[in-house]
A and B are shown apart, each in its own frame.
Chain A
Amino acid sequence: MYYRPENINDAITTLSKGELTIAAGCTDLFPTTQEDSLGSNILDISAIKSLKSITIEKEFRRIGSGVTWTDLENEKLPNCYDMLKECSLQVGSRQIQNLGTIGGNLCNASPAADGVPCLLSLDASVELISTNGKRILKLDDFIKGSRNTELKKNEILSAILIPEKAERGHSSFVKLGARKYLVISIAMVACKINLDGDIISDIAISIGSCSAVARRLGELENTLIGKNVNSDLTQDIYNFDYKNHISPINDIRGTDAYRLEVAKVLVKNSIIDTINKFKKKGQYE
């Protein structure tokens, strides 16, 4: 059967009755087959309107899991979401951005998922819903490994929640690939900074495609907090022990040694990009 419910309650009820493949944008599902069809036992959640909106609720912003990359690009959001917008523009191509959803990107849990570093840097949580109710998990608890999440068979990832207190400052996303468009990252970094005058009061740095799951670099963040943005931060960034925090693999896109080497460069570039945004736009634009 192919189910296409229009509200979330119908969706979770249907899901509670049998094992179904959840389909949203299908940009990851269809490439796994060369067949004409996705096959049967599909729960298509793309007609559920409540999954497609971005709303502000008490203490957090709620991004519906069915929001597409294009929706994110078009949404008016605070500066700290720039990285997510920059990331959205670099997911595949315009055609992919029009279909692919942010929720799908998380559930697919590819080590190279473009959305994950940005959402980690935004301290995101995910909301999972089933006939048993809702549960909320921190994003880094949700994604357990490559292609491995906490999502239960009867659950749908309904929203991504960004705490209001994380919505400060500017942000940047840098992606490294072997071609301009339609490219899977060799490595990528999402950086968000808040300043107190010229002093870094808060910083979040996440790196993707360099471990089974994208990672926050908490220790590096701690080193950089309190530093003046006009001082040379390169030493701190380059001296950080990346080896202990990421575990890149050797694959067709790059060697492990290469990824270790460029991680620091991408971190540096993303920090410089972010600081330049403060200089260009000011903090409270």
Chain B
Amino acid sequence: MNNAKIEINFYLNNKKQNLLVNPSDRVSKVLREDLGLMGTKIGCNAGDCGSCTILVNDEPVCACLMTVAKAEKKNIQTIEGLSLNGVSSLQKSFLKYGAAQCGICTPGLLVTATALLKKNSTPSKKEVEEALSGVLCRCTGYQKIITAIMNVNSEEEIEPVFHNAVGKRIPRIDGLKKVLGTEIYGADYWPEDSLYIKIVRSPYHRANFEFGNLKQWQLETEGLDIILTAKDIPGENKFGVIPNFADQPALAVSEARFKGEAVAIIAGTYNSISNLNMDKFPINWEPSTESLSIKSSKDKNIDNIHSDRENNLLTVGKVISGDPETIINRSTFQVSGNLETSYVEHAYIEPEAGSAWMDHDTLVIQACTQAPIMDRDDTAHILGLKKENVRIIPATAGGGFGSKLDVSIQPLLGLVTLKTKKPCRIVYTRNESMISTTKRHPSEMQASVSADKNGKVLSMIFDGDFNTGAYASWGPTVATRVPIHASGPYYTPNYKAVGNALHTNGPVSGAFRGFGVPQAAALQETLYDQLADICKIDQLEFRKINALKDGQKTVCGQELYGVGIYECLDALSETWKEGLERIKKFNEHSKFIKKGIGLGSCWYGCGNTALPNPATIKIGIDKFGQLFLHQGATDIGQGSNTVITQICADALGVSMETFNLIGPDTHLTPDCGKTSASRQTYITGKAAELSGKTMRSKILRLSNMGPDAVIEIKNQSIFVKHKEKEQRLELKDMIPDKDNYVLSSIETYDPPTIPLDENGQGKPYAVYGYGVQMAEIEVNKELGTIKVEKITAAHDLGRVINPLLAEGQIEGGIAQGLGLALMEEYIPDRTENLHDYLVPTIGDMPEIKSIFIEKPDPEGPMGAKGLGEHVLIPTTPAILNALRNCTGAIIKKLPALPHRVLEAISEANVDTRKN
């Protein structure tokens, strides 16, 4: 319902504003929709995330919680107001210290921190934390944000890097727009006169439905252009990230299989759609018996969710080697355990958003994504278009973590534009984003591990059920990846692991940083501690004894080299011993407050599991001497734009600043594959290395210079020098190709893997990364609360391409690992917002110390390995092990919320008394 518009007067970034507005509109809406100031980001519309923070008379408030009527006579400052006199020192500091990753929360943080610094120019860490308590960041783990604010007055300048960029702390090359608030995310751009889209979704977990007279309703409703249902889809109404398992309709046909599933699209003007009254929308729902848990998915009395998938079983993955069943019973020591984990929501601060338009006969979609080529292919398939007639331009992603791999809004945007021939746009609400997109798989796992009298692991048996929700998504990947990784980075001669992906009517489980491995590692690593204790061997020593070593075989029979797990463990040895002493002393004198330390290890294969996943990098030089890097890997905050450029610059032998970045854009960049599976630094990085080398050898050949020559591109020429000798290649005289390049190189790299046989034997990945984290925690034994005080993280990256960005990955991964361990539990119907679904705030983060191990990988570019997902795997078990070490509590269900911890502590006390 609209109010009569009123005139209001206020100052916005020092300029007088006089506006005619709906007085009860949110200020955030007025800033973005009425004034076109896109720097203020909307993450939740509920005051839960703080990304829309503005200053009202110098005080931070959430613009989404303030009616514009209240702005009367006020001074309002937004992110756009911070750089009125050039880039502010705080913005520079954010850049320098790597405080922005995806950048969606950055404007809110900068505005909030500006208010703090105005009152207190040298805040303590605690003061920074209190001041920033209201802004959630899902990428960084907050450490670099705190550093950037505390060091805002530091004189230290960033040194320019001319050659040898690899290994240097280079700030992200796409960072300036993020700190200025000018970066374009999915919600920030749309062609003029775009239609606005609303999606009709199932309110039931499972229901059949029928539409009434849609035409009539449309006629009776003002401002609508079109209503579309499954019947309007021109192609095959089915998508999925793994072609053989594709099963998800873009719009459900007659049965909705989960709450939030899309059933119809309504498009019209912004005003009509945002004020749409849906009370009389003609649809009839007939709810049917739903299954929401792994247990109920096995209930024969409930109809299968997909008629062609018996017992709701999507797929099974397994790895078998040796004779685990026999050996486990004959071993000197055994331990068994089980663990249940919950749905975990990605909770990126940017809800899905994007726009679409026609460019002649090409459908262009600019939206948030991690996988532009997959989006193009799925969208073309659903819409019955040729792939070349769909162009995906990834908008900067405001976080992804796996969920933006699957298409969400793309086919829906495409359908509206295709049917209406008009541009259109959509922005999900926080609730829509949470109910309709993928989650981390809930799991129920059991495992047993055995060792000989010397603490050598002899066998392991693992069995895990994974709730993959209503549709396949990445369920098959989780079912396959988990058995390969469930041994942990340890030599395990006798092994059997099974992963089942089961359908329920819960949200679709997809990819989330680690594809099921974090869940499995939480069980395996906690069992390792218990086994070490039974063997009476120090927990770190026990891991060292069993750590995979060069030349040893994995549970898949793959011989590994460049294995850095032992080195990671070794790097923590001293800290571990010192920590054990310190904590023992503390606990002797403390009754209710206990301190604990614990370890967690990880390994993780980079890239697709035994499937092709090539990346192609193209470089071109035009006759003006401009160097272009066609970089198709989406940078979702992790830093691939910077890292890939660094690798390419060094391979070619030029300064990083020489490069102009193109893409990603499916019409301009070759396929670099998706941003997932910790593959971009390794696979696209390797393609960049190869392409850079090819360009280098072309230049050397043309200039007839040796391999040690130095290349410089300037003044429409390439100068090639070696000692006294110098050659100049005049570019303006060379003949350009169809892309206007006078010199170009294009190289593809695909990891050499070998498909797995029926026992999971083969070579699933060409490169693995390794890591160990040590958590130090404080537990209140009376309340069951845990405060993580410090995490020391040793990760083997093979070769650190960019230490600043690598630390950012570690710190951010630890934040998500901490959330998984202690607070994150998505419950359909109950936690569909960011105040009931808890992710770590700035005050929940421990001090983090990163230790880089560089054990070169024989395959990775310059020896590099992946890191993105590895970093959150060890955090959860390290925290759980620290808890057990100081209280005896064994957690059986994640997250370890206070009530579960307290229960586990009292059970442990009962067990001790029994013994």
Contact = CB atoms under 8 A, between A and B. Distances in A.
Contacts of B822: 178
A96 B66 contact: no
A181 B842 contact: yes
Interface of A: 1-2, 4, 23, 25-27, 30-31, 33-40, 42, 44, 46-47, 70, 89, 92-96, 98-99, 176, 178-184, 186, 252-255, 257-258, 261-262, 265-266
Contacts of B133: 93-94, 180-182
Nearest to A183: B838
B62 A1 contact: no
Contact of A2 (B24, B26, B431): B24
Contact of B46 (A4, A31, A89, A176): A31
Nearest to A262: B783
A113 to B, nearest CB: 14
B117 to A, nearest CB: 14
A180 B840 CA distance: 8
B77 to A, nearest CB: 14
Interface stretch (B575-583, B753-761, B828-836): B828-836
A178 B824 CA distance: 10
B782 interface: yes
Nearest to A180: B843
B784 A4 contact: no
Given A70-B59, A96-B134, A178-B897, A37 B24 contact: yes
Contact of B47 (A34, A47, A96, A184): A96
Interface in B32-84: 33, 45-48, 50, 53, 56, 59-62, 64-67, 69-70, 72
B590 interface: no
A4 B47 contact: no
B539 interface: no
A26 B843 contact: no
A33 to B, nearest CB: 8
A93 B112 CA distance: 11
List of 6 A-B pairs having minimum Cβ-Cβ separation, nearest first: A93-B134, A180-B843, A258-B899, A181-B133, A31-B46, A2-B23
Contacts of A30: 26, 45-47, 64-65
A254 B898 contact: yes
Nearest to B64: A30
Contacts of A70: 59
Contacts, number: 170
A182 B347 CA distance: 15
B835 A182 contact: yes
8 contacts: A4-B69, A34-B430, A93-B133, A93-B135, A98-B60, A179-B844, A181-B842, A183-B841
B45 A27 contact: no
Contacts of A184: 835-836
A139 B582 CA distance: 49
B910 interface: no
A39 B3 CA distance: 7
Contact of B67 (A44, A178, A252, A265): A44
Interface in B105-144: 112, 130-131, 133-136
A33 B430 CA distance: 11
B6 interface: yes
Interface size class of B (residues with CB under 8 A): 35 or more
Contacts of A44: 23, 67, 69-70
Contact of B29 (A4, A37, A46, A180): A37
Nearest to B28: A36
B62 A95 contact: yes
Nearest to B115: A94
A19 B274 CA distance: 24
Nearest to A96: B47
B898 A258 contact: yes
B902 interface: yes
Q: Which residue, A1, A33, A37, has most C-beta atoms of chain B within 10 A?
A: A37
Contacts of B827: 252
Contact of A178 (B130, B274, B275, B823): B823
B219 interface: no
Nearest to B132: A94
Given A31-B835, A39-B24, A181-B843, A99 B898 contact: no
B825 A252 contact: yes
A1 B823 contact: no
A252 B840 contact: no
Contacts of B65: 25-27, 30-31, 95-96, 99
B377 interface: no
B2 interface: yes
B914 to A, nearest CB: 21
A218 B831 CA distance: 35
Q: Which residue, B23, B24, B841, has most C-beta atoms of chain A within 10 A?
A: B24
B223 to A, nearest CB: 15
A252 B831 contact: yes
A253 B895 CA distance: 11
B274 A35 contact: yes
B22 interface: yes
Interface string B1-36: 111101000000000000000111110010001000
B17 to A, nearest CB: 18
A224 to B, nearest CB: 19
A40 B835 CA distance: 26
B272 to A, nearest CB: 13
Given A40-B2, A178-B838, 14 more contacts: A4-B70, A27-B65, A30-B26, A30-B47, A31-B45, A34-B429, A42-B23, A42-B24, A46-B70, A47-B70, A179-B823, A182-B136, A183-B838, A258-B898
B29 A36 contact: yes
B727 interface: no
Nearest to A265: B782
Q: Which residue, A33, A92, A98, A261, has most C-beta atoms of chain B within 10 A?
A: A98
A93 B838 CA distance: 14
A79 B882 CA distance: 39
Contacts of A262: 782-784, 898, 902
A36 B29 CA distance: 6
Given A180-B133, A183-B838, A186-B898, A34 B22 contact: no
A2 B1 CA distance: 11
Contacts of A93: 47, 50, 133-135
